[in-house]
Amino acid sequence: MFNKILIANRGEIAIRIIRAARELDVRTVAVYSDVDRDSMHVRLADAAICIGPAKSSESYLNISSILSAIEVVDAEAVHPGYGFLAESAEFAEICENCGVKFIGPPSKVIRLMGNKIAAKKEAEKVKVPVLAWSRASLEDEKSALEVAKKIGFPVIIKAASGGGGRGMKLVHTQASLGSAFHMARREAHTAFGDDEVFIEKYCEKPRHIEIQLLADQHGNVIHLGERECSIQRRHQKIVEEAPSPAIDAKLRQKMGEAAVRLAKSIGYVNAGTVEFLVDKDKNFYFMEMNTRIQVEHPVTEMITGVDMVKEQLRIASGEPLSLKQKEVKLSGHSIECRINAEDPKTFVPSPGKITSLYLPGGPGVRVDTAIYSGYTIPSHYDPLIAKLIVHAPTRHEAIKKMTRALEEFRIEGIKTNIPLLLEIMKDHDFIAGNIDIDFLSRFS
C-alpha cells in the first residue's frame, strides 16, 4: 500500500478519500485554492498545499500546479476524485510518465472512453447493445439528414467529447435538423474544443441505469449491481438509488455481464461505471462509460458493504480485488439525495455563509459533506454541498427514512433544494417506482 497520496480535489469527495486512506494507514495531502483555505478537507488531511487562485482553471484544473505539489510533498500516488482532472487522459498520462500512480484507469482507456463514438464502437465489438446511431461523426448537414431519416425521428445529436449533460440536441423533425446540427457543432467546439458530433435514436421515457464495476491489475473484473439515476434535472442527477425498482436478478446479471465484458475487452482497471438507458420493455442500451469514482457511489457501498474508495487504493497499489463476483451480495435498499446550495424553485445557485447547521443522523443515515457551521460556500465551484444517504431493509422504509432525515436537516444562511427533495420523496409516482428521466419535468 502507498505511504502518501495527494488528493487532487476538494469538498466532500476529498474528505471521502481522506477517510478511506486513514483507515488504510495512508497519509494524505490535500490541495486547495485561495478561497478554500478554510475548507474542511484542508483541516482533515495530514498536510495541505495551496495550488492557486479560486478559478478552477488556475488551481484544481491546473496540471502543472498539481504536479509541482505532488513533487514538493513527495506523494506516490494521486486520487483525482470526480470532476476536475478525474477524466483527463492528459493528466493521467503525465502521471504515468512521471512515475506517479494515477488512482484510476490507464490514460489510454480514459482517452478511448472519453470519446463517445469510440466508446460505442467498443461496446458494439463485444455485443453490448447500443441505440441505432450514425456509427461515425457527421461531416455535414446532408449526411446528418440521411442518417436521421434512416434511424427515424426523434433523434439526439450528441458531442463526441460531451459530458455533464451538455452538448446534446433533441430533434423531432427533418425541418429542424439542419440548424440543430450546426448549433450542436458550434457548442461542442466551444465547450469541449472538439466539434465532432453524432446522431443517436432518441429513446422515449427511458430510465438511466448504471452498473458499477471494479477491476484490478490482474485481470479480475466484477460488478456491484446497478444504480437507478433517473431523477435528473437538465440531465444532472439529483436522487439515486440501489437497487433499481425496475431491475430483477436476471436483468441485473445480463447488464452486469455486458458491463464486465466491455471492461475486460478494453483493459479497464480500477472503479468505473457503465451507463445504460433502459426502455419501457426493459431493453437496455449502452450510453457511455465513466472512468472514475462517481458522486452516487455511496448507494452501492451501502447495499454491498464494499468500501469502494479503499478498493480503488488497493487496486492502484497492485493488490487483487478483495472479493469475487459470487461474494457480492446485495442487502436492503439505499437512496442518495444530492443537497445543492440553490434556490429550490429557480435553481439559481445560493453560495454564502452557513450561519447554523444541524446534520441528520440515527440508524442507517450517512452524510458525506465538507460543510460546517460558519463555513462560507464559495461561488466558484459546483453547488453540491452534501450527500444524504440512507440504508434500510426495503425501498419503502428507505423512502420513509430519507423523508425523516431531510426534515431533520437544519441549515441557515443559504438556500438549498431540500424542499424539492422532500416533494420527490412524497410523490406517488416516485413511491410507486414509476420513474423515468422525464420525471422531474412533469413534476415541477
CA pair distance 44, 438, nearest whole angstrom: 39
- Asked about 185 being catalytic, the answer comes back as no
Q: How far is the CB of 158 from ligand ADP (least distance, A)?
A: 6
Of residues 16, 27, 292, 395, which has the active-site annotation? 292
- Determine which residue in the list 187, 241, 275, 427 makes contact with ligand ADP, applying CB under 6 A: 275
Cβ-based burial of 396 (10 A; exposed 0-12, middle 13-18, buried ≥19): exposed
Binders of ligand ADP among residues 335 to 374 (CB under 6 A) are none
Contacts 24+ apart (CB under 8 A), 183-192: 184/157, 184/158, 184/159, 187/159, 188/159, 188/160, 188/161, 188/162, 191/159, 191/162, 191/166, 191/167, 192/159, 192/161, 192/162, 192/163, 192/167
Rounded to an integer, what is the distance from CA 10 to the centroid of its chain?
A: 15
What lies within 8 Å, CB to CB, of 110 at 6+ separation is 87, 88, 89, 92, 104, 291
Quick one: cell of 55?
A: 478559478
Cβ distance to ligand ADP smaller for residue 231 or 313: 231
Residue among 187, 196, 200, 342 that touches ligand ADP (CB under 6 A): 200
Could you check whether the bond before residue 363 is cis, i.e. omega within 30 degrees of 0? no
Site membership for ligand ADP, residue 206 (CB under 6 A): yes
Nearer to ligand ADP, 286 or 375 (CB): 286
Cβ 437 to ligand ADP shortest distance, Å:
4
| Cβ–Cβ under 8 Å, residues 238 and 440 | yes
Question: In terms of CB distance, is 77 or 335 closer to ligand ADP?
Answer: 335
Sole binder of ligand ADP in the list 88, 232, 294, 340 (CB under 6 A): 232
Sites for ligand ADP among residues 139-198 (CB under 6 A)? 156, 162-166
Using the structure block, give the residue that is written with the C-alpha cell 485554492: 33
Q: Which is nearer to ligand ADP, 218 or 442 (CB)?
A: 442
The footprint of ligand ADP on residues 384-423 (CB under 6 A) is none
Pick 207 or 223: Cβ nearer ligand ADP: 207
Residues that bind ligand ADP (CB under 6 A): 131, 156, 162-166, 200, 202-203, 206, 208, 232, 235, 275, 277, 287-288, 437
